[in-house]
Amino acid sequence: MTAISVLPAIPANTVQLQPNARDAIIVSSISDGTSIHVLSRYGDDIWDLTPFIPNANVCDYQKLLAWSDVPETFIDSVKSAIYAYWQEGLPGYRRPSARTLLNTLTMVSVFVHFLVELRVRVFKEVTPFHCALYVRHVKSLGLSKSSQALRFGAVEMLFHLRESLSDPIRTHPWPDSSASHLAGLSQRGAPEASTLIIPEADAIALCMAAERCLQKAGSLLDIRDELVKLETDPSSLPSWRLSQLKRQLVREHGLEGLRDYDRQVLDIRTAAYIVLGITSGCRNHELADLRIGAVYSAEEDGEKFHWLKSTSLKTFAGATEWMVPEIAVSAVRNLERWSGPLRSALEQEIADLRAAISGDPLPRTEKARLMKTLHQREADCTRLFLGRTDSTGRIGALSLASFNADLAGFAIRHGINWTPKTHQFRRTFANFVARNGMGDLRYLRHHFKHWSMDMTLLYAKNAAQEAEIFDEILETINTEKVRIVEHWLDDDVLITGGASSPIKTFRRNHKVAIERDRRALAENISDKVTIRGTGHGWCMSDDNGCGGQGLYEATRCSDCKFAVIDDTHRVVWQGLWSQQVELLALDDIGESGKERVRRDIRRISSVLCGLGIDVAVPVEVA
């Protein structure tokens, strides 16, 4: 069953068409291979764009374009403009997707309602003065720059497609400016990176909680199988007795009751999402479209690599793969088993729908409705992230809102203060990979070990990989380097180590008081230096340093000419100090061992002094 696009024989500009001909234009339809079943026509109050929005994480109602929110005097022009925009796009740009169309109508509706408040009745009455008032109004709302640009861009769209309006806007809304400029974006119009990264401590706590859930998944799903046997017992127990036996069964397995059991089983799905989100870099719609057989393994040069398969709609890449660690394989396997009953129920519903469609003749609209439902169920029946709606019990792919609600509930139940959102996982993944590559990831490193390889070699491992994630990782690495150097350039930051002296001298001779100037300088410097984390400091050696021995003998970095130790490592060196003081008190390490401990205490004392911490050096060391 396939979606049918808008008929190409119909012109994009509908202004010259007779109303009857215009309203009969087919906007969306589906085909069963032999017949076309119309879902929406131009004249309908609602355009059903379901066939054009394959995203699994989008709710059904979010695929409907409703005209009821547009004031009556504007509706003909808005509808013709939106239709023309969909069919032709703006000059120099490709045609928008159906989801972009929905967002654009929302932005246009906001502008039109503002015009109504100004007592403007049609577009031809709009002047630059009205648009200037709208700009001032939008800026007063406290929206992000990218949100402002979307609202202003919708107004520009109405002007650029003015020939498609029955009452066109006569002058450019802001003759000497543009939507991106008014929003305060750069000339390139690139939005700011506003997506938050999940804080490291919270990301670790989330991942650990998710791992614990997945470790219990097998036993929980075994309980589910036992409960199913009870429900299908041919002896037909009374409902009260069945409930009693169910409660008894889950309590025998250490659970508080059926509610506790239901919650823990549902947590398996959320735990799988967390693990896959943190370790793959997939976007929400890519994870939402995971299907049976989504993961496979391949061995190369004696090393095993695991790959996750899905469909990427963001970059129109289609079938795409991502490298994942072994824990992601476990997550998918648990998810396959978890979703089994829901997929079986969908297969039965598909069989019932096919029987209804092929049975007695149905009215055309009813058959189209059933065909659309069948199309959706067939799309969902192999998906892994499935759920039931609370109101109707209908089984289908999880929506974006459902994912976020599950994540919020999971965090609360597991005592995590951060409220994770689906869009935060990709940047968090890129941040972890970047920091792992720089040697600065202290936890979860085993999940990112393959990402320590050269990026070019890693990309060559699989031609089906998503290229964009590599760009984001490299950009994150550069951002991390800039952040570190910018921190060093701050006069208030204490730094030590052999490489700190030239930085301190630079700070004295080049006072950088303005923050933006310091960042620009940091960007310039970071391009020219190598920075790797050791866990106890930063190494700036290219190849001619200690050969990595400082990774295992931290005190070598205390006066190494390639080492910078800043205030972020203070706790590490305090811990090293405590360890060495304990070792000094031992009687069984011999004189050579004592001498090494004394040497390390002197080195650590020097580092702590450079970081502003006074310590009492033992008499036998001083």
Closest CA to 278 of 415, 385, 419, 432: 432
Q: What is the pLDDT at residue 187?
A: 47
d(CA 8, CA 25): 10
- Beta strand 495-496 with 563-566 is antiparallel
Please give the structure tokens belonging to residue 411.
Answer: 């965090």
Tell me if 278 sits within 8 A of 429, measured CB to CB: yes
Residues paired with residue 299 on neighbouring β-strands, in sequence order: 304
Mean pLDDT within 333-338 = 97
Angle among Cα 255, 257, 258 to the nearest 5 degrees reads 115
Please give the structure tokens belonging to residue 391.
Answer: 């109101």
Number of alpha carbons in the 13 Å side-chain half-sphere of residue 611: 23
Tell me if 95 sits within 8 A of 87, measured CB to CB: yes
Q: pLDDT class for 264, splitting at 50, 70, 90? A: very high
Give the mean pLDDT of the chain. Answer: 84
d(CA 309, CA 295): 6
To 10 degrees, what angle do helices 258-280 and 200-231 make? 130
CATH class of 197-338+392-471: mainly alpha
Run of H or E including 3: strand 2-4
pLDDT in tens, 95-129: 888 899 999 999 999 999 999 998 999 998 998 88
For the chain, which residues make up each domain, given as ranges? 2-182, 197-338+392-471, 490-610
Q: pLDDT class for 4, splitting at 50, 70, 90? A: very low
Tell me if 236 sits within 8 A of 244, measured CB to CB: no
Phi–psi pair at 36, nearest 5 degrees: -100, 130
Mean pLDDT within 195-224 = 91
pTM of the model: 0.76
Angle among Cα 392, 393, 398 to the nearest 5 degrees reads 105
| Range with lowest mean pLDDT among 416-425, 462-471, 554-563 | 462-471
For residue 71, give the amino acid letter.
Answer: P
Mean pLDDT within 559-574 = 86
The answer, yes or no, to whether residue 496 has pLDDT greater than 60, is yes
Q: What is the pLDDT at residue 176?
A: 78
Alpha helices in 39-97 (DSSP H): 75-88
Residues paired with residue 496 on neighbouring β-strands, in sequence order: 565
Q: Which residue has the tokens 């119009």?
A: 189
d(CA 347, CA 487): 57
Q: What is the pLDDT at residue 34?
A: 77
Q: Please, what is the end-to-end C-alpha distance for the chain in angstroms? A: 83
3-state DSSP helix/strand/coil percent for the chain, to nearest 5? 55, 10, 35
Mean pLDDT within 607-620 = 81
d(CA 116, CA 73): 10
